[in-house]
Chain A
């Protein structure tokens, strides 16, 4: 196990690239999903206020 983690002396290079990739990709997915949720809420609010002003 230690041998695996050591990556033949390249541990800091291998594990840093894999962690950075995981972090950046996860962030991209989460941020895009959050933007969609926020946009949906905004559009719903806007339409609700439009309906109110019509009645």
Chain B
């Protein structure tokens, strides 16, 4: 087990595994998302209160979930990189940031468009909305900090510390609807009791979340390879790897 983990953490090995898995993850993600969208737009019944407007949930909740998942992954990877000085961990953290920012942007925009008919306003300085906006700024801050620092090791360390400090925002986002008077509705899925949503409405949502998660992994497989190439451009295995890739097309 340890041996397997050790091997996976080596950049050449990870690079090859990522190349092999990426297309599968991408196609599985597309299949899940198409199924989820069909279930959510066509098969699920309209909501009692929100009518067909509730169908926005199928693009809003997965984006919001992935925005927090990406940040958690970025922080854990940064932590591993800082403690064990593992280059691949920093590659994963750096590759996650732009994707995480995209998901956070989507969560905010789809939420705003949903808020207009339901709350009568695109934006409110509400705890849930504000903390999610701070998450976007954390991702952007991480990206700009890396770009500002030319030396990779320095960029890794500084951005890694920023990612770790920003982790306090995650529980704030999650519990904001319980701690404060929020206009945002409470959780329907992630809580101790059974989900408060019928099966017809639930399965498309789960399909969408799995689809978004797979898409995230597919993008990560591409972006981590970019990071590895940038960091190891002088390594001999890169020459050999790119040589074989060129032969195979």
Contacts and interface: CB of A to CB of B under 8 A. Distances in A.
B26 A20 contact: no
Interface in B185-234: 215, 218-219, 222-223, 225-226, 229-230, 233
Contacts of B99: 28, 32
Residue with the highest number of chain B CB atoms closer than 10 Å, among A8, A10, A21, A47: A21
Interface in A1-55: 4, 7-10, 13-14, 16-18, 20-21, 24-25, 27-29, 32-33, 35-36, 39-40, 43-44, 46-47
Q: What is the interface residue range for chain B against chain A?
A: 35 or more
Given A8-B52, A28-B99, A40 B229 contact: yes
Interface string B230-244: 100100001100100
B223 A32 contact: yes
B63 interface: yes
Contacts, number: 93
Interface of B: 26, 37, 41-42, 46, 51-53, 55-56, 59-60, 63, 98-99, 102, 105-106, 109-110, 113-114, 116-117, 215, 218-219, 222-223, 225-226, 229-230, 233, 238-239, 242, 245-246
Ranked nearest first, the 8 interchain pairs of A and B with the lowest CB-CB distance are A8-B52, A10-B53, A7-B52, A21-B59, A17-B110, A8-B51, A32-B222, A36-B226
Interface of A: 4, 7-10, 13-14, 16-18, 20-21, 24-25, 27-29, 32-33, 35-36, 39-40, 43-44, 46-47
